[in-house]
Structures are given as structure tokens and as C-alpha cells.
Chain A
Amino acid sequence: MKRVAFIIALLCVLSPLAAHEGYYYTLSLSIFPYLSIPHYADDMQRPAVASWTTPSIPHYADDIPMRTAGGGEVSIGALGFRKSHYDFSLELRYRGTTASIPHGFYRSRGFDSIGSDLRFAYQLKEQIALFATVGTEINFYRGVDSAFASFSTALGAEFLLVQKPAHRLSLTVPITLHLRKEITAIQTAVGLRYQYFSTRDGR
């Protein structure tokens, strides 16, 4: 795993040095409410399936249908490529999620996540694009020395705010599913995405 992380980091650093037409760097920031949804007791009867494509199993029952937290996310991408209507990037991401609002005798623990995403976008109109991401992350519960792995996938819209030859600034509105082992969480974020084209071909 360390070797994989090293190769990804190396690619991120070296690839844009070629500075081909369409390559870009990117920085994204977003904030979101975070709704974690465990399943009800009857779901405990379902068979466990060990696949991230069926994330709802296994889950646990909670006193309330979902717990509400919030958070923020920062992504940096050094491996971005844009051509015609298409846009691909590999991004490294930090996500901070707060503890949930206390209810009853429990609250969800807050955690910090470090992961990476593959992002694909398609330009629908001049100012509107749709995008999707898939990624994975390691999450560290705050203060309790405990960690877990998870996967994330998002769908969203991107609205162009500013465009210059070397820069693009967009408003992003993704809905993200955080696929944890015992919880499926929904994030509805609002964010900004800045792209820098070193060859000034952002238009």
C-alpha cells in the first residue's frame, strides 16, 4: 500500500511537468451537511455481502433514522486533463467531518479522512458541466485512536463562474455517498473549484 501511495504521489508531481496542452492543476474547497444512515433492525437479517458496490450491508440499527453532522473538504489535483467537452483528474483529498448533533445517549464520532478520487466531467453547455467521482479514503476518528477504510462516490453539477485563458473558477454542487461499512452517509456539498492551466488553454 505504501508503494501504491508513493507511485500516485510521484505521478502527481511529475506528470504536469510535461505541460501538455489541456493539463491543469486544481484546488477545490467545499462544505457539506453529513447525514449518516444506519439500517434498521430487520436489515440485520440480510446476508452480508463483501463488496463496496453494495455498501448498505452490514449495518446497525440506531435510535434515530439518521444522524446529522457537517464538514469540509479540500482537494488538490496535479493530474488534470481537459479536452473538448471532457475533463479527467486524479485528486488527493482531505475531508473533516464533525461529531453529530447529540441525541439521546449517543452521537456519531467526528473523523478526519485522507483519500484520493478519480474525477470525470462532461461539459453540457458553455457554463454547465456534470461530473462524477469515485474514490477511497482512510478515516481517523478524532481523539480515540481508531481508523477505518471507506469508499466515496459523487455526482454533481459544476457552474462556471470565471474563465480566463489560464484560469477557471466554478461553483460545484455534488451529492456524495460515503460508503462506510456500518453506515451509508449522504453529503450535499457546495464548493468552489479552481483550475490553473499552465499552457493557457483553459478556454
Chain B
Amino acid sequence: MMKNAFLPLAIILLSLLLSSCEIFMEEPQAGKVYAILVALDYDGLNQNTLAGTLPDAKEQNKAFTALAGDEKYEGYLFIQEKGGIVDTKTINSTPIELYPTVKNIEDAISALSGTTTADDLILFTFSGHAKGGNIALAPKSGSVIETYEVSRLLDLFSSVKGRKLIILDACETGYGVPSDPASSSTLLENSISTWYSKYFNGERSVKSDLFVLTSSANTDSYEDIFNGKRHGVFTYALLKALGWNVDTGTMSTAIPPAAKRGRLTVDGLLSYIKAHQTLKTKKSLFKPFGDIQHPMVSGGALDMTLFTF
């Protein structure tokens, strides 16, 4: 009897092991890393000033440079600060003014779309104000901020080849995370009937190479002072996840703490940030008071690798 049982079992298991695609198919090699880093302190604009946003973007730029290596990295810092000097850089032979207006950022993304390949990694970070899935960018002139829908930003990035990660450290940016056709965020749509209706709604799933990582789902995002330096709570944890030491302003030579088995993935970053950010992610019976900030990532069946070590 036992012989009867184990023979079909052995055949099935062996055939499945042999069909494991991961073992036999060649892996693509990672290409270059491009980053557009946007930060506004809103000094001189009609919004509350944020002192942590500029250090956030500048240190993320250094951390990404260290992770990718100087020769494989191109970063573009779009900074708004009162009295700051605005640089101009050339992206794919298009001169772009590095000031965070809608036009400049759209021009930069369009210019990138002509230069990246499918193996490249494209990062976009935003540190500033946002509300209901709209980020607050600088005006061309005057002091009134220009709101910009995250969905419009994502549409623009869909024409850029490569893996894309959009990192938003601003209030209510979870509303800007695109809805996955097959799964639902339990932070925004926590209902069994919603989950079943998604199964039957006929909306098609496509493999996405665009991931969105946000500092909060539907709450505010906060800044805090860390050893005398002001940073976004989310970005401070993100920098640590990347291996960046905010206190010394240096990159660790070890594998980043958020990496697992030599791979730094989007989900790895999220898990690390949730575990290490200084604000709690949700209220509980025992901790019913105080600010919360729940980071969020776009849904779907896949996790995306950013860097390998």
C-alpha cells in the first residue's frame, strides 16, 4: 500500500521541482539608477514651513548614490528653499531647471523616458505637503503652491522604461497609491465583501513595474528631531533601512539592514520602516492616544527588488 502511495507522490514532486523556472532561467542584470528627488520647505510660499524635507531629499540622494555606485547613478535634486540658487541639469540632452514646479518635474520625467532601459531602476521621492493624494509643488511665480495629482505623476511614469519606485513622504499619500485590480489595502478597504467583489469585477490585472511607497495611508505624516537633526519620521526610518547613518552623514559598508538574503526589496523597506519608525502605526486598546502614521505600499502579487548585494 505504501508503495502505491509514494510512487505517484515522488513523480509529482520531482516533476514540479524540475519545472522550477527560477533555477533554469537566466536572470537579467541590473542597469543604471536614476533618481528624481523633490523637496520643498515652503518658506516664502502659502504653506507651513517644513524644516526636515530638504535634509530628507539630500540624504536620500547620498544614500542612493552609495547603494548604486557613482558611475551607475544619476540623481536630480529639485529643491525649493527661500533664497536658494536654482541649478539647471541636462537630462537626455534636455536642459531642466531643478526647481520643483509641475512643468520642470514633468519635463524631467519626459526626458528620462527617452533614456532609460527595462533593466534600470528609476526612483522618485517627494518630501513636502500633500492632501488627499495631491502633492503641493512650487508655483512658477508668486507664493501660491500648485497641487498636483499623484495619479497624474504615475501616468507620466508609466511611459518610462524600467522598474519605478515612487516614495512619498507627505500627509494622506495613501490616497495616491493606485488600487490593485486583484487585492485591496486593508488600511483603506477593510471589508470582506469588497475583497470578493474585486474577484468578480472583471477588471484586468497587469504586471506592474511601478511601485508606490508612502509614509501614511489616510493620516497626516510628521517630522521630528533626531539627535538635533530634523527629518520626516518616515524618511528617517527609510534612511536607516538603506544603511544611511543620519548622525554621522555616512553610509554603512555593511549590507543595508532592510535587505534580506542579499536583496533589498520594496516590501523589505516597508517592513523595516514599520518596525523602526518612531511613531506607532496604529492605535490600540492599550495605546489609544497619540499620533499614528501607517506607511503603505502598492498592492499586487509581486514584490520588487531594488538592489542586490
CB distance from B26 to the nearest CB of A (A): 9
Nearest-CB residue, chain A, relative to B196: A149
Given contacts A146-B185, A148-B184, A149-B196, contact A159 B12 (CB under 8 A): no
**Residues of chain B with a CB closer than 8 A to A107's CB:** 265, 302-303, 305
Nearest-CB residue, chain B, relative to A151: B199
**Are B22 and A67 closer than 8 Å at their CB atoms?**
yes
A175 is an interface residue with CB less than 8 A from chain B:
yes
**Contacting B303 at CB < 8 Å: which of A62, A63, A109?**
A109
B181 is an interface residue with CB less than 8 A from chain A:
yes
**Residues of chain B with a CB closer than 8 A to A160's CB:** 1
A17 is an interface residue with CB less than 8 A from chain B:
no
Complex CA gap A118/B66 in Å reads 55
**Are A64 and B21 closer than 8 Å at their CB atoms?**
yes
A181 is an interface residue with CB less than 8 A from chain B:
yes
Complex CA gap A82/B116 in Å reads 63
Interface size class of A (residues with CB under 8 A): 35 or more
**Are A100 and B22 closer than 8 Å at their CB atoms?**
yes
**Are A50 and B301 closer than 8 Å at their CB atoms?**
no
Of residues 69 through 128 on chain A, the ones whose CB sits less than 8 Å from some CB of chain B are 99-109, 127-128
Complex CA gap A103/B304 in Å reads 10
B296 is an interface residue with CB less than 8 A from chain A:
yes
**Are B296 and A145 closer than 8 Å at their CB atoms?**
yes
CB distance from B198 to the nearest CB of A (A): 7
Interface size class of B (residues with CB under 8 A): 35 or more
Complex CA gap A102/B266 in Å reads 13
A12 is an interface residue with CB less than 8 A from chain B:
no
**Are B181 and A103 closer than 8 Å at their CB atoms?**
no
**Residues of chain B with a CB closer than 8 A to A146's CB:** 180, 183-186, 299-300
Q: Please report B residues at the A interface, Cβ cutoff 8 Å.
A: 1-2, 4-5, 8-9, 12-13, 16-17, 19-23, 25, 27-28, 30, 163, 180-187, 190, 192-193, 195-196, 198-207, 261, 263, 265, 267, 270-271, 274, 294, 296-297, 299-305
Known: A52-B199, A180-B182, A181-B198. 19 other contacts (CB 8 A): A2-B192, A44-B204, A103-B22, A103-B27, A104-B27, A105-B30, A105-B304, A106-B305, A108-B302, A144-B270, A145-B296, A146-B180, A146-B184, A146-B185, A148-B184, A175-B12, A182-B300, A188-B13, A190-B9
28 residue pairs bridging A and B, Cβ less than 8 Å apart: A35-B19, A44-B206, A48-B202, A52-B199, A58-B181, A58-B204, A61-B207, A64-B25, A66-B21, A67-B21, A67-B22, A99-B303, A101-B20, A102-B263, A103-B21, A103-B27, A109-B300, A128-B4, A138-B192, A145-B294, A146-B186, A149-B198, A157-B5, A160-B1, A181-B181, A181-B205, A182-B182, A182-B205
